[in-house]
């Protein structure tokens, strides 16, 4: 049995964090499903920027859309939705077989709306309706404005992938927003089967402190944040508040480990896969990381949910002068800015190809 098969058998869903039209045309994504135990897919502005700017596969459609007066943002969503519909159809049998737990793809609202709750809500509803696929998440960042939008979007019945979370505290805020949305639906007598995941970014922690912490602490912070958040997740879903909703038919908002490609060339290329194996969660990984884990990764058991290891790491990092709470906020702001930058470059690429 391959390492990916073992990981899936342990109860963690494996999703791939990439999509290109070539991956769809060449059967790569279908092969990931068939051979690598992949059960879902995520995307973001950076992924689509690379896919569209570095490929000619989108050129003809961009020119056709431009001829209809459809450019930039509207053109992008037409391109992305076409790809994600195809991906959603690949994963639809998994979605059906798991009762909606798995088999999801994700489309992000414009990152320039990260601080605009009202327009995020409008965009989420519009994009989900436009996509016409029940197994498509709308990604909304877990910023203060995003939390408002998440509650309202869940209350309106749109499935959400909460993105740009960097700590247990940020995860809990997102979980609270999701739960409030479900509680509103319960009070209104509406269906509670509105699925969501909460995406915790891992590798950027270790990049951020690489030049600050001692060698003994190198590449340990991301895993510690993952364990700490997993502990918070297990406690939250075991709470009376959540269990009451589950008893009424609500699903669990699963914790999703994102940004799990190793950035340190001296570290294992499967560091954040092997170290974050945990049942009832998702790990969405770049296709290069997925292939590495399938090829030479090792499944060595599941993550301990007691959080003791993370406490020790946090103490060592704090002793090195790092303010973890401040860094979590900084990483969220930097992530938001990074997605806006990729978004701007993406729209420029589409405009250039249209001309």
Q: Give the CA distances from residue 50 to residues 39, 153, 277, 338, 339, in Å, rounded to whole numbers and listed in that order.
A: 23, 29, 29, 14, 12
Cα–Cα dist 2/294, whole Å: 6
Alpha carbons 217 and 196: distance in angstroms, whole number: 33
Show the tokens assigned to 13: 């869903």
Determine contact, residues 123/110, Cβ cutoff 8 Å. Answer: yes
Q: Measure the CA dihedral 59/60/64/67, to 10°.
A: 60
Residue 50 has a CB neighbour count (10 Å cut-off) of 16
Contact 19, 284 (CB under 8 A): no
322 vs 228: CA distance, rounded Å: 17
Active site residues: 139
The length of the chain in residues reads 355
What sign does the dihedral 289-101-136-167 (CA atoms) show?
negative
């Amino acid at each position: 049995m391959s390492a990916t098969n073992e990981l899936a058998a342990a109860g963690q869903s494996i999703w791939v964090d990439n999509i290109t039209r070539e991956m769809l045309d060449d059967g790569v994504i279908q092969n990931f499903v068939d051979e690598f135990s992949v059960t879902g897919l995520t995307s973001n502005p950076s992924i689509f920027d690379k896919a569209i700017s570095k490929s000619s596969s989108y050129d003809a459609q961009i020119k056709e859309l431009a001829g209809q007066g459809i450019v930039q943002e509207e053109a992008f969503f037409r391109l992305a939705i076409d790809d994600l519909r195809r991906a959603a159809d690949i994963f639809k049998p998994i979605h059906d077989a798991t009762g909606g737990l798995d088999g999801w793809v994700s489309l992000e609202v414009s990152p320039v709306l990260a601080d605009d709750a009202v327009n995020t809500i409008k965009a989420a509803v519009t994009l989900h309706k436009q996509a016409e696929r029940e197994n498509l998440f709308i990604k909304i960042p877990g910023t203060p404005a995003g939390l408002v939008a998440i509650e309202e979007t869940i209350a309106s019945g749109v499935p959400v992938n909460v993105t740009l979370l960097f700590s247990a505290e940020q995860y809990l805020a997102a979980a609270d927003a999701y739960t409030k949305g479900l509680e509103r639906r319960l009070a209104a007598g509406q269906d509670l089967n509105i699925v969501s995941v909460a995406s915790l970014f891992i590798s950027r922690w270790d990049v951020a402190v690489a030049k600050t912490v001692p060698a003994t602490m190198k590449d340990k912070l991301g895993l510690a944040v993952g364990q700490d958040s997993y502990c918070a997740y297990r406690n939250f879903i075991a709470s009376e508040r959540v269990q009451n909703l589950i008893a009424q038919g609500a699903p669990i908002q699963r914790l999703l480990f994102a940004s799990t490609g190793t950035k340190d060339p001296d570290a294992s290329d499967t560091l954040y896969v092997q170290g974050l194996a945990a049942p009832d969660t998702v790990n969405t990984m770049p296709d290069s990381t997925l292939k590495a884990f399938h090829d030479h990764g090792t499944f060595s058991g599941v993550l301990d949910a007691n959080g003791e290891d993370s406490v020790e790491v946090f103490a060592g990092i704090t002793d090195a002068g790092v303010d973890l709470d401040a860094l979590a906020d900084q990483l969220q702001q930097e992530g938001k800015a990074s997605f806006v930058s990729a978004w701007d470059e993406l729209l420029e690429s589409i405009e250039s190809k249209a001309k």
